[in-house]
Amino acid sequence: MKGIQLRQELMLDLLQMKEISTYRQQKNGTRIFQLPIKKYGQYIEVGSFKSGYVRRMNGGYTPYQLNKCEPMDHFYKEYEYRGDGTSKWTGKYKKYVGKSRILIDNEYDRINYLITFCLKNYYINQANMIEDGKFIPKWKHDRVREEANEFLNKERERFTTGKYDPEVKVIVNGHRYNVI
């Protein structure tokens, strides 16, 4: 058991996930980790709770649940409403398919799930999101690539049709000279 915990601590250390749990949280079985990745100007924090939940602590009123979901059926009685303000059950039921979170009972399994979730969703998917504004959205990258391809196709067409007249210019001491 000690070797497994050391391996898990090594994974947390390699990912630079810093534990920032308070004494009271540790006493209650809660572990909070801070990732070295910023999103919306602050570091991402995730937590493992004794209740079986794994959550992203996004600084809001309620932390976002990261546990997997399973469909759960709910059945409600169908009522027929009358004009006089009364209602009567029609004998039918309405089906509503909702979601229920799958709880993880074991702390070791919760931390492993947390590590794999963070690795997949924050370290890999957001690898090109740089906090200092150098991130290039995919649509902008695609547009620049299309413009470059159009330019290359036009130049290739000009070259193959013989309408290609290359101009070579040299600038010396601020003066531009055409080279033949």
In this predicted structure, what is the pLDDT of residue 135?
Answer: 60
Report how far apart the first and last C-alpha atoms of the chain are (Å, whole number). Answer: 78
In this predicted structure, what is the pLDDT of residue 165?
Answer: 62
Low-confidence ranges of the chain (pLDDT < 70): 1-3, 127-137, 162-167, 179-180
Question: DSSP state, 50?
Answer: T
State phi, psi for 28 to the nearest 5 degrees: -85, 0
C-alpha span between 80 and 96 (Å, rounded) = 18
In this predicted structure, what is the pLDDT of residue 148?
Answer: 83
In this predicted structure, what is the pLDDT of residue 2?
Answer: 66
In this predicted structure, what is the pLDDT of residue 142?
Answer: 80
State phi, psi for 119 to the nearest 5 degrees: -60, -45
**pTM of the entire structure?**
0.62
Question: Quick one: how many helices (H) and strands (E) in the chain?
Answer: 4, 9
Q: Kind of pairing, strands 87-101 and 18-19?
A: unpaired
In this predicted structure, what is the pLDDT of residue 180?
Answer: 60
In this predicted structure, what is the pLDDT of residue 134?
Answer: 56
